[in-house]
Structure 1
Amino acid sequence: MTPPDAMSPGAAASTVRTLHPGTADPVATGLLASLAAAAPGASTVAVAVHRAGERLVAVGGRTAHNATGRPAEPGTRFALGSVTKTYTALLLAELAARGEVGYDDPIDRFLPPGAAPYRRVGGAPITLLHLATHTSGLPRLPPGLLRSALPRWFSNPYAAYGPGELLAALARTRPSAAPGTRVRYSNFGVGLLGMLLARAAGEPYGGYEQALTARVLTPLGLRGTGARAGAAGDATGYWHGRARPPWRIPGLAGAGALHAGPEELLRYLEALLDPVRAAGGAGPLATALAEVARPRLVVRPGEDRIALVWNARRRPGHLLLFHSGGTRGCTAFVGFSPQRRVALAAVANRAPALDGAFIQRAYLLLRELAGGTTRFGAPSPIG
């Protein structure tokens, strides 16, 4: 059921930032209308685009359907869900660029005694790279998590699942395939990666946000991005027309705990388009920003690849890198093309639909912008 005050496909942007602020922008209105049509029930939808030096951030609607809702802004935060995984990949690349970890380091190096998963005699260990490319053989979720989540299934299913529970589950896990032999999407794997990277960065196992903030978010100026749920002004999430509390994910923070606004999402993507400028010069962070976009393995010959967490798809003359995310109340999509200097982020405060309409619409918009088939603004550079 769609609430009566849901954002309509033709809703005007409440906040538009373009090259020409203060003027009506048909491109912004058109992008918002297209995405809002694919997110019925959302009270706010936002899109942020960069193309060849031009940028646009447009936000429509209000942060909630009820009287507490306020006009959404470029800084209004949405739950990112699995888009968080791309930040975890960047943390991995930053630590690797400094020589503090190696991509081929076995996870046993960062685990307490007795916490390593089952390994066949003579078999290869799971490495950090396996976790970042979904080739670890670990299941989608840790064993036992769903059972512990059931009492809070409609509120905060992961809130009581911390690093201790994750380590205990890992010790009794038997991978379904030898590491490096099969791609199998795993929240367990990337959540574990975030926890191990926190430890490698000198934080406790539960210190993912602290490590990410120090190594990635603060250096890139992303001060509004973080794992704290329910901050004032955040978009309220909706599932089947009902408001849902933001998820707290202490044990799998690296797989889905972050929140960010569309303007900071765009700045994050722009850092991936121009690593040296974003990092303030050549150095470990600039190296890391470039490394995450490098494809590591082929999923389907001639088409799909996996970089560090990012999905990569070959298009005529360029590469598209993208990832999506969803929680019980928000849907997010991010993508970019380094060769075409294009990036797009799209968010809505409603849970993902079974048909994936919002994510598919956002991907098609990114593809069209990168392919030059969608007009975007006037051809003048940002000063």
Structure 2
Amino acid sequence: MSPRGAVRAGQESAVAGPAWATDLLGGLRGAAGASTVALAVRRGCEYVVLVTGDTAWRGGAPAGPDTRFEIGSLTKTFTALLLAEMAARGEVALDDPISRFLPRAAAPHLQDSRITLLHLATHTSGLPRLPPGFLRRGAPSWFSNPYAGYSPADLRRALTLTRPRAAPGTRVHYSNFGVGLLGDLLTRAVDGPTGPAPADGGFDRLLSERVLRPLGLTRTNCAADQPQAIGHWHRRERPAWQMPVLPAAGAVRSSARDLLTALDALLEPAAPPAVPDTLRTALTDVTKPRIALPRTGSRIGLIWNIRPRPGHDLYHHSGGTRGFTAFAGFSPQTGVALTALANTSPALTGAFIQRAYLDLRALAHDASAAA
């Protein structure tokens, strides 16, 4: 049974499923402290999508498998798929320098090295976590919508002021700036340097055309004006998250059912029907290890973090906005995938994400031991 048929009509808001899955959901809700938590799991040939609670603490409707959540940095995994799909078409190459897509005056200052698209997709570009000047610009709305007022002119200015923290390719340093820039460059590669600016929806359109619609992800996009759960920070409502200029870093919304469909495609790239060959290639390419982290044994694919376990690997990523927390992960060797969503901001302890990761690890361990 596919994720699309994993929940019967009339079950959408009920916590109804096998005991092992309802136990996982209960643990996640306890870790989240949210008004609604969604869990979607594949365990071999078994699919479960469970949701509990309402879309808001006060006055919310019952949430279901198709309720949209802001997924924050999980967006980056979709940006990676777009990059790999465009590389499969020959529109870009992973080793293309970013200067290929930028006016000369806008490129970051480098001495004897260059930043490539692969560097951006593996957090090895040397770019800082946030654009220069962003903290000062976003400070007035830091706990609600710090990216909302960030303009294309701000991005151009930041690029000219940027000085990489390390030579490209020499150090892993997580960068929202880098992946947000990657989305901008991919849009430019198709539309040209004078095409639609990110604030005009160019990235959302391209992502939908190349990745989301072919995979059947009908509840997934960057739109901030479509129905979704209400985000909360300490039980206080947060406005819808907006990232008009750097959407590739964290603007996507999705549902538990859609995310499980995407993970299912990553587990079995040859299985989804009517998927273009370029996207099938991309589904495989994003999972290839690209970077090995010293002393840990961990690796990085295109955006995905990879942790080796005895007999199998765990691929995982998390995300958060001012009102939502999200996790997704899968294990190709065991056929296990899990995504968890909550409508509350990430806790400083990371309890929800850690619980989701440990649940994924336990499911994959049990499946590996039973094989």
Query: Is 1:65 paired with 2:87?
Result: no
Q: Sort the Cα spacing of 1:340 and 1:375 in 2 relative to 1 into closer, same or farther, 3 A.
A: closer
Give the conservation status (yes or no) of the 8 Å contact 1:162–1:252. Answer: no
Q: 1:273 maps to what in 2?
A: 267
**Residues 22-70 of structure 1 deviation map (CA, whole Å, 9 limit, x = unaligned):** 9653233211101011112x10001000121211000000000112x01
SS in 1 for 2:211: helix
| Aligned-partner residue type, residue 178 of structure 1 | A
Separation in structure 2 between the aligned mates of residue 137 and residue 339 of structure 1, nearest angstrom = 33
SS in 1 for 2:106: coil
**Residues 276-309 of structure 1 deviation map (CA, whole Å, 9 limit, x = unaligned):** 2226367111010000001101113452111000
Separation in structure 2 between the aligned mates of residue 199 and residue 338 of structure 1, nearest angstrom = 33
Separation in structure 1 between the aligned mates of residue 136 and residue 102 of structure 2, nearest angstrom = 25
| Aligned-partner residue type, residue 306 of structure 1 | I
**Residues 149-204 of structure 1 deviation map (CA, whole Å, 9 limit, x = unaligned):** 12222332111113332122011101011100011000000000011111112252
Q: CA deviation at 1:247?
A: 1.2
Q: Sort the Cα spacing of 1:28 and 1:374 in 2 relative to 1 into closer, same or farther, 3 A.
A: farther
TM-score, normalised to structure 2, is 0.92
Query: Is 1:314 paired with 2:308?
Result: yes
| Aligned-partner residue type, residue 353 of structure 2 | I
Deviates more, 1:288-297 or 1:273-282: 273-282
Q: 2:3 maps to what in 1?
A: none
Separation in structure 1 between the aligned mates of residue 340 and residue 276 of structure 2, nearest angstrom = 30
Q: 155, 158, 161: which is aligned to 2:150?
A: 161
| Aligned-partner residue type, residue 51 of structure 1 | R
Q: CA deviation at 1:274?
A: 1.1
Query: Is 1:32 paired with 2:25?
Result: yes
**Residues 204-261 of structure 1 deviation map (CA, whole Å, 9 limit, x = unaligned):** 24111011011100111112101111422x1111101211012100111000000001
Q: 1:212 maps to what in 2?
A: 207
Q: 237, 241, 244: which is aligned to 1:243?
A: 237
Deviates more, 1:194-203 or 1:320-329: 194-203
Q: How does 1:99-118 map to 2 (within 5 A)?
A: 99-118=90-109
Q: CA deviation at 1:373?
A: 6.7
Q: CA deviation at 1:326?
A: 0.7
Deviates more, 1:274-283 or 1:201-210: 274-283
* Count of residues paired in the alignment: 355
Separation in structure 1 between the aligned mates of residue 275 and residue 81 of structure 2, nearest angstrom = 17
Q: 310, 334, 349: which is aligned to 2:328?
A: 334
Identity %, equivalent residues:
57
Q: 1:381 maps to what in 2?
A: none
Q: How does 1:142-157 map to 2 (within 5 A)?
A: 142-157=131-146
Q: 105, 108, 117: which is aligned to 1:128?
A: 117
Q: CA deviation at 1:333?
A: 0.1
SS in 2 for 1:36: helix
Q: Structure 1: which 5+ residue stretches go unaligned?
A: 1-15, 377-383
Give the conservation status (yes or no) of the 8 Å contact 1:324–1:359. Answer: yes
Separation in structure 2 between the aligned mates of residue 105 and residue 167 of structure 1, nearest angstrom = 20
Separation in structure 2 between the aligned mates of residue 253 and residue 113 of structure 1, nearest angstrom = 23
Separation in structure 1 between the aligned mates of residue 211 and residue 155 of structure 2, nearest angstrom = 24
TM-score, normalised to structure 1, is 0.89
Separation in structure 1 between the aligned mates of residue 313 and residue 18 of structure 2, nearest angstrom = 29
Separation in structure 1 between the aligned mates of residue 344 and residue 368 of structure 2, nearest angstrom = 26
Give the number of the structure whose residues are more often helix, by fraction: 2
Give the conservation status (yes or no) of the 8 Å contact 1:230–1:245. Answer: no
Q: 2:220 maps to what in 1?
A: 225
Give the conservation status (yes or no) of the 8 Å contact 1:262–1:346. Answer: yes
Separation in structure 2 between the aligned mates of residue 92 and residue 279 of structure 1, nearest angstrom = 21
| Aligned-partner residue type, residue 71 of structure 1 | P
Give the conservation status (yes or no) of the 8 Å contact 2:86–2:92. Answer: yes
